[in-house]
Amino acid sequence: MPELTPGQHIHLVGVGGTGLSAIARILLGKGFRVSGSDRATNPQTDALARDGATIHAGHAADYANDADALIISSAVAPDHVEVQRAHERGIPVYKRSDIIDAVTAGQDVIAVSGTHGKTTTTAMTTHILLQAGRDPSYIIGGVLRSSGQNAAYGHGPAFVIEADEYDNMFHGLRPRVAIVNNVEWDHPDCFPTPGALMASFVHFAELVPGDGLLIACADDAGAMVLAHLRRERGGQTETFSIDATDTTWRAVDLRIESGISHFTVLHDGVAVADGALQLPGRHNVLNALAAIAAAHSQGVAPQESARALVSFTGTGRRFDVRADVDGLAVVDDYAHHPTAIRVTLEAARSRYPGRELWAVWQPHTYSRTQQLMPAYLQAFAAADHVLITDIYAAREQPVAGVSSAALVAAMPHPDARHTPSLDDAVAVLDRDVRAPAVVLIMSAGDAPRIGIDLLQRRNIINDKPTQPGFPPPPPRPEGEGAGG
């Protein structure tokens, strides 16, 4: 593990991304001198600058000159000017997976993993511990609404962290408690086969010590592979579920009243708490169960956790209701995997019964679109209308024959349209959407601007989307970011 000492100068290349901006905040809290660079500033870098970090818009070799160490995002190439300067001067260069153990040192790590749901589950666990007065450190792949931050350094015993599988970042963690929500193939640019992804999760689960705790979703086959492997080795394991009966934690009697999801929490078959969530969807009930189990490992009673979750309002870009005015709701969500799209649409149906549902999707990366194409074609059944923009390339180059136009042409949905640009999508929505309706914008890229522009056209917000009640778009992730 790299040795870091408070007072050292740490420079982060790609500091505007979700993952590195969070690490920068923890380092500031621990007493390091922090600087960072990125192509442009954003709300997270602005907040870091206010709190004492030196932030550079753009890149230059000299920014690395007096650093004791560099931390780089997954998107930073080996020939980056600041990386090259660091090598010239003998300054160590670390990726997130190299440095994260040192960043979390001194606290018991609660690592939240899974192809889907890890941001919300990390945020729920953090919210519970904050409400319980446990003062945790945390790193979340989105901004926690109750704190206004995606990371903070606390003095309590726990460090809650979103365990990002991309680029095997979570292999650098040493979790005392690990949650596995699900294991479903994603990131084909990093994991070329489903087996490669599963092998990565197996390695992550093996990092939990024998006297630590693995918390796995019994409703997911991939998560249960990890649970079975750990049990065979005698490791402490708990499971959570809605559907399975032989499980440590279970939610029963699910119902929706006035937009609130209600359920009863069972622990080893015994009712221990009544739960209520402002976030819609069965998947969020599962996320809540995982958070309750993690908090229980820290001595927080299920009843106390359930009470805390009543006030949980989520994170930016996870079923983020940007506005709901005169029967028109505009919602941002990070969904970009077929399963996430499907469950998010189902959640929108449950939250807004009787409204027309417009799904606006910005595909994320060519490799994912190509490999998961069959599942995408079937993911939009719950929507009345579907608009698909051009693919957000992120770190990739175009792939011949892979396009949004081809995807729409193959989609069996009765009203699926290709709207190449964000402006094209806004124009169609402004022309065709009539209340009562919900516009659900699903994107891991820059498509949240569609909702802002639509609301401006409808005179629901003015030209300052950061006004109170309308949060700004989240920080742009460098590479894959830390989102879930």
Report the CATH number that the domain containing residue 63 is assigned in CATH. Answer: 3.40.50.720
Write the single-letter amino acid at 5.
Answer: T
The domain boundary residue, chosen from 310, 342, 368:
310
Q: What CATH number did the domain enclosing 260 receive?
A: 3.40.1190.10
Does residue 465 belong to any structural domain of this protein?
Answer: no
Does residue 471 belong to any structural domain of this protein?
Answer: no
Q: What CATH number did the domain enclosing 350 receive?
A: 3.90.190.20
Rounded Cα distance, 327 and 56, in Å = 43
Same domain, 16 and 54: yes
Tally the C-alpha atoms within 13 A of residue 226's C-alpha that lie toward its C-beta: 34
For the annotated catalytic residues, the residue numbers are 118-119, 162
Same domain, 305 and 243: yes
Same domain, 246 and 267: yes
Q: How many domains does the chain have?
A: 3
Does residue 475 belong to any structural domain of this protein?
Answer: no
Does residue 474 belong to any structural domain of this protein?
Answer: no
Rounded Cα distance, 88 and 86, in Å = 5
The domain boundary residue, chosen from 47, 65, 99:
99
Same domain, 215 and 329: no
Question: What length is written for the chain?
Answer: 484
Rounded Cα distance, 315 and 334, in Å = 11
pLDDT of residue 3: 83
Same domain, 47 and 28: yes
Same domain, 438 and 343: yes
pLDDT of residue 470: 37
Domain with 42, as residue range(s), is 9-99
Going by their DSSP bridges, the two strands 149-152 and 158-162 should be labelled as unpaired
Going by their DSSP bridges, the two strands 320-325 and 328-333 should be labelled as antiparallel
pLDDT of residue 462: 53
pLDDT of residue 2: 85
Structure tokens at 150: 């995606």
pLDDT of residue 168: 93
Does residue 3 belong to any structural domain of this protein?
Answer: no
Phi-psi region of 135 (alpha: psi -120 to 50; beta: other; left: phi over 0): left
The domain boundary residue, chosen from 99, 126, 141:
99
Q: In whole angstroms, how far apart are CA 102 and each of 179, 279, 408?
A: 21, 34, 46
Same domain, 209 and 276: yes
Same domain, 18 and 72: yes
Same domain, 146 and 56: no
In tens digits, the chain (484 residues) has pLDDT values of 788 999 999 999 999 998 999 999 999 999 999 999 999 999 899 999 999 999 999 999 999 999 999 999 988 999 999 999 999 999 999 998 899 999 999 999 999 999 999 999 999 999 999 999 999 999 999 999 988 899 999 999 999 999 999 989 999 999 999 999 999 999 999 999 999 999 999 999 999 999 999 999 999 999 999 999 999 999 999 999 999 999 999 999 999 998 899 999 999 999 999 999 999 999 999 999 999 999 999 999 999 999 999 999 999 889 999 999 999 999 999 999 999 999 999 999 999 999 999 999 999 999 999 999 999 999 999 999 999 999 999 889 999 999 999 999 999 999 999 999 999 999 999 999 999 999 999 999 999 999 999 999 999 975 444 333 334 444 444 433 333 3
Rg of the chain on CA atoms, in Å: 22
pLDDT of residue 194: 97
Does residue 129 belong to any structural domain of this protein?
Answer: yes
| Dihedral sign (CA 16, 20, 26, 27) | negative
Does residue 399 belong to any structural domain of this protein?
Answer: yes
Same domain, 298 and 176: yes
Neighbouring CB atoms inside 10 A of 81's CB total: 15
Does residue 484 belong to any structural domain of this protein?
Answer: no
Write the single-letter amino acid at 72.
Answer: I
Same domain, 328 and 393: yes
Same domain, 211 and 239: yes
